[in-house]
Chains A and B, each alone.
Chain A
């Protein structure tokens, strides 16, 4: 079976995993501080930062994108009026937030070597 390496930089642990593994399947076992709530892509708590290898991760779905957007709003400066969504999305893309540096650990699968960290 093809293998990939997932490195959790906060605990300095690298795990050899079968390709297709989701981050959620291993992050708690290695003790990485990626926190979870709903575990199914709704709440956005398991946001993590991709340090290396974003091209080795599963594509971002429309739903994950929406949750990232919501989390981004909350983290940056509280919720904005929903009419601001386009401007906000542009800002997120400018600042490498969506689909680039940040993902949800319960959704993201790995297909090659990656380095990740809690946000």
Chain B
């Protein structure tokens, strides 16, 4: 384990902490190699800046490293690129030991810092893109890069040395005491896995951030987790550009919209419904509808399709008063991407109670998808009338997708009564 600070340059040191035995992070991530909490110190002619801190449990390592390279009264500036507790755990103690240091946070972090420290009267300075602070012969410049992966996140750029302190961006959970990307073991899988689970849901924000970062000359990217990227740093920016691009090559024309119909069926009734819904949707010019049997697929593969789709319908029978597990697995995977605003719906056959459809609808509504239609529920085997109802549902879904649905006028009492009947 590294017991001394590590030099990035004459004026910049790594003063973070190693956590080699960590095996799951933030509940949702596996970490076979543990992780690091990277914090940095920058020395200017007029004082020292500390950039980020570490998890509370690792604070001893952090303070030991910090004390080896600076006195507390030299610290003029504390920059927080991200307020999550794994980077701010040592902050209260650092503020106590260096009370003269000014705290710099992003504009979106102002309410969070109060909730984090449970203190209303914190003295801080909020900064945005283009703001700078001088340490004499060294200058820190800020980049507002929100939602990577929290609302508060920002990057800090050391102008004279072209070092980007990127926060969690370009980071990964990979603990190796050799620290630099040209020295550590092969961490490519950790880098990809971290992007997929932490950054991917914020794809649009990644693209915006890359626009801010790309024009900067960069010698070193110094993230808050994992290896410090000093060898070919821009290749990681390029990789983020690829990862935030479209996963699948687009197969549809600009004037077409895609509707994915996922279904699973015990005795074929929900399958029949899915096929009729597809036929109905295909009647609407411009709709490209596709059918997928969830029994033969895997939500990890489907989620790439969903990310690019305009509309998603899910068909599930009701078993023991619930939708079936493959349907829930698919909906759970939506948390890895951004589905907000996509058209959604549910349908399914049932034996006697049929709760699955409304439960799936509620869940997708909760994910802020757009559900303009009540899904079709059919008791046991669909009759020809009921199949016609499915075709109409598919057609209406297609019309909503293309924005050509016919106007309807309703009375509120009828509207709410029909909803109540359905949910009973």
Contact = CB atoms under 8 A, between A and B. Distances in A.
A16 B84 CA distance: 48
A26 interface: yes
Given A12-B406, A12-B407, A82-B110, A29 B373 contact: no
Interface in A69-94: 74, 78-82
B203 interface: no
Contact of B405 (A12, A28, A79): A12
A101 interface: no
Contacts of A18: 412
A78 B365 CA distance: 26
A10 to B, nearest CB: 8
Interface string B370-413: 11111000000000000000000000000010000111111110
A14 B372 contact: no
Contacts, number: 68
A14 B410 contact: yes
Contacts of A25: 412
Interface string A51-67: 00000000000000000
Which of A12, A17, A74 has most B Cβ within 10 Å?
A: A12
Contact of B107 (A10, A29, A32, A81): A81
Contacts of B301: none
B372 A31 contact: yes
A30 B107 contact: no
Contact of A78 (B144, B405, B409): B144
B107 A11 contact: no
B83 to A, nearest CB: 13
Interface in A37-51: none
Given A33-B341, A78-B146, A81-B126, A15 B415 contact: yes
B411 A16 contact: yes
A28 B411 CA distance: 14
Contacts of A26: 412, 415-416
Given A10-B372, A12-B407, A15-B411, 15 more contacts: A13-B409, A13-B410, A14-B408, A14-B409, A16-B411, A21-B412, A26-B412, A28-B365, A33-B341, A33-B370, A35-B340, A78-B107, A78-B144, A81-B107, A81-B126
B419 interface: yes
Secondary structure call for the A interface:
loop
Contact of A15 (B400, B412, B419): B412
Contacts of B370: 10, 31, 33
Contacts of B368: 35
A79 B412 contact: no
Interface string B280-318: 000000000000000000000000000000000000000
Cβ-closest 10 pairs across A and B: A31-B372, A33-B370, A17-B412, A35-B368, A79-B107, A11-B372, A14-B409, A12-B407, A79-B108, A13-B408
Contacts of A78: 106-108, 128, 144, 146
Interface residues of A, number: 25
Interface in B59-112: 106-108, 110-111
A28 B415 CA distance: 11
Nearest to B411: A16
A10 B341 CA distance: 12
A11 B405 contact: yes
A97 B373 CA distance: 30
Contacts of B372: 10-11, 30-33
A26 B409 CA distance: 13
Nearest to A28: B365
Contacts of A74: 108
A30 B410 contact: yes
Contacts of A35: 340, 368
A74 B415 CA distance: 34
Contacts of B108: 74, 78-79
A32 B146 CA distance: 28
23 contacts: A10-B372, A12-B407, A12-B408, A13-B408, A13-B409, A13-B410, A18-B412, A26-B415, A28-B365, A31-B373, A31-B374, A32-B372, A33-B372, A35-B340, A35-B368, A78-B107, A78-B108, A78-B128, A78-B146, A79-B107, A79-B108, A79-B126, A81-B110
